[in-house]
Amino acid sequence: RKEVEQDPGPFNVPEGATVAFNCTYSNSASQSFFWYRQDCRKEPKLLMSVYSSGNEDGRFTAQLNRASQYISLLIRDSKLSDSATYLCVVSLSGYALNFGKGTSLLVTP
């Protein structure tokens, strides 16, 4: 079983739609959780950290469910510029990041 699993998509949604991605992780001792965004042929960039209490940054909301070992990312009012691959990242400790393969999102006009 992979350490971090995501639905690869692609998710095709119209502008303005709300879309949600889930990610599951296998190691219950994982400590830190993140969502990164990777545009085509670019490096990953941190979108947001995921906190136990859940956190929101503008149109983006991240949730963590430790009991079920999954993380979610909700994007409201999708923009064309949101089209990218979203990487779920889990860290057991320190700097050892485990990346999911990513979920592709395409927002269409």
Partner 1 sequence: SAVISQKPSRDICQRGTSLTIQCQVDSQVTMMFWYRQQPGQSLTLIATANQGSEATYESGFVIDKFPISRPNLTFSTLTVSNMSPEDSSIYLCSVESQGEQSGNTIYFGEGSWLTVV
The contact set with partner 1 (CB under 8 A) reads 4, 41-46, 48-49, 87, 95-97, 99-102
Query: Residue 98 Cβ, how far from partner 1 at the closest point, in Å?
Result: 8
Query: Residue 28 Cβ, how far from partner 1 at the closest point, in Å?
Result: 20
CA gap 88, 45 in Å, rounded: 12
Structure tokens at 53: 């209490």
Residue 49 or 72 with smaller CB distance to partner 1: 49
Sign of CA dihedral 56, 42, 33, 89: positive
Residue 4 or 19 with smaller CB distance to partner 1: 4
CA gap 4, 100 in Å, rounded: 5
Query: Residue 17 Cβ, how far from partner 1 at the closest point, in Å?
Result: 26
Q: In one letter, which amino acid is 14? A: P
